[in-house]
Chains A and B, each alone.
Chain A
Amino acid sequence: MATHQEITESLLAFTNGYNANQRLIVMNRDWDRVILIKADDLPSEHTLILNNGELTMREGGVDNPDLIVMANSEILADMFYGDITPTEPYMNGTLRITGSEDDIVRLDFISMLIWGE
């Protein structure tokens, strides 16, 4: 099991990776979204906010997010560090993403563009 702090650090790595990628910022200028990241094995919530292409992260949850990403703490930390891809846990049901299918595919693409290869 990962700790809340480890999830925070993984999300910071993800946010830094995203914001260092100018192409991703350009790609997402049309896509303002609030994403709740929620662990299902410990009380840990984080919020990712995409606004005008820029990504910020803060600890704690939010009401009415556009997307909810939920998994156990280990999967969340591994995924946002880029150690595992979201596809396998998503396909085997250990990662659950709530939101429109278009948004889910787009989030997947963004992850791949940050951590792919």
Chain B
Amino acid sequence: MKKVVSISLGSARRDHEVTVELLGQTFCISRRGTDGDFERAYQLLRELDGRVDAIGLGGIDVYLRAGDDCYVVQDGLRLLQTVKETPVVDGSGLKNTLERQVAYYLREHTNLLPSGCRVLMVSAVDRFGMAEAFSQLACDVTFGDLIFAAGIPYPIKTMDELKEIARKTLPEMCKLPFHMLYPTGKKQETQDEAKIEKFGHYYHQAQVIAGDFHLIRRYMPHDLQGQTVITNTTTAEDVEFLRHCGVGTLVTTTPEFNGRSFGTNVLEAVLVVLLNKPVAEIVEQDYLELLDRLNFRPRVLGLN
């Protein structure tokens, strides 16, 4: 049996373990949260290195892509470099392939993403493939990167402006402690009521809310009216939370295993094992071909 473990800076309450069979191979996939404790994450990564088949790094990004530019989150890189033997990935490879495809799938097979559809991406630089797909599909997209990461009420409306602002800010922002830019640990279990009050109208105005689940959750108003949420890493408890907030449809980009949609880092780690190639040699086309063979489809779940 192949062993894949995700070490996450997120809450340990979200830990999960499943056994699944994919393309004739049996996988034991588990997720271990460290409640935002970097030292604990370093320790677990060192313990697992050389003892499992692949490691996913969750609750933190390592590589952020905007167009042809790639920015490296220093806190994430330090974690990644702790692992010397086992293949380790952060999910960014899949965000650029699988999640891009999800938008096209929804356009072709559902009525959830019509042309002109108002989409709020709570953060786009961590999901550039999806952001680009929404724009190419002529959606009316609001990129909330400045709103939710920096508290600046400035909706970015075009890919060009997104890339320009990313180019100016990300090289330095990537050096800051990650917790200043993204909710880690216990912050993932609470909501920021001040920002919900201040920025909740961006959620209300959107028909589709997309992006990282923890960011979506942290700033989500409680009185939505049937909006669609496109994300992943949702637990059964998260689904209930979304239903309670008035979300109409949940789309998860990664497949559901035992009621749980894992993060892209976990799935990418599984794909790395299936590909049986060094991570550095894997190209986008490898993921695309494998995803095709696996026949993964987004989960579309009506909540009301």
Q: Which residues of A contact B (CB under 8 A)?
A: 23, 26-28, 30-31, 85-88, 90-91, 101-102, 104-106, 108-109, 112-113, 116-117
Contact = CB atoms under 8 A, between A and B. Distances in A.
A109 B150 contact: yes
B168 A117 contact: yes
Nearest to A113: B168
B172 interface: yes
A105 B151 contact: yes
Given A26-B154, A102-B151, A117-B168, A109 B176 contact: no
Nearest to B168: A116
A109 B175 contact: no
B151 A106 contact: yes
A106 B175 contact: no
B202 to A, nearest CB: 14
A86 B165 CA distance: 17
Interface of A is mostly: helix
B173 interface: yes
Given A87-B176, A108-B176, A109-B152, A116 B171 contact: yes
A52 to B, nearest CB: 14
A43 to B, nearest CB: 30
B120 to A, nearest CB: 18
A105 B150 contact: yes
Nearest to B150: A109
B175 A88 contact: yes
A27 to B, nearest CB: 4
B41 to A, nearest CB: 19
Contact of A109 (B167, B171, B173, B198): B173
Contacts of A88: 175
A86 B173 CA distance: 10
Residue among A31, A91, A104, A105 with max Cβ neighbours from chain B (10 Å): A105
Interface in B88-114: none
Interface of B is mostly: helix
Given A105-B149, A109-B150, 5 more contacts: A27-B154, A108-B172, A109-B146, A116-B169, A117-B167
Contacts of B168: 112-113, 116-117
B172 A106 contact: no
B152 A106 contact: yes
A18 B51 CA distance: 53
Contacts of B152: 27-28, 31, 106, 109
Interface string B141-180: 0000010011111100000000001011101110110001
A112 B181 contact: no
A4 to B, nearest CB: 27
Contacts of A117: 167-168
Contacts of A108: 172-173, 176
Contacts of A23: 154
A117 B165 CA distance: 10
Nearest to A103: B151
A71 B151 CA distance: 25
A23 B165 CA distance: 11
Contact of B165 (A31, A85, A113): A113
Contacts of B149: 105
B167 A116 contact: yes
Contacts of B165: 113
Contacts of A105: 149-151, 176, 180-181
B180 A30 contact: no
A27 B175 contact: no
Contacts of B151: 102, 105-106
B150 A101 contact: no
Nearest to B152: A27
14 contacts: A26-B154, A27-B152, A27-B153, A30-B153, A87-B173, A87-B175, A105-B150, A106-B152, A109-B152, A112-B169, A113-B165, A116-B171, A116-B172, A117-B168
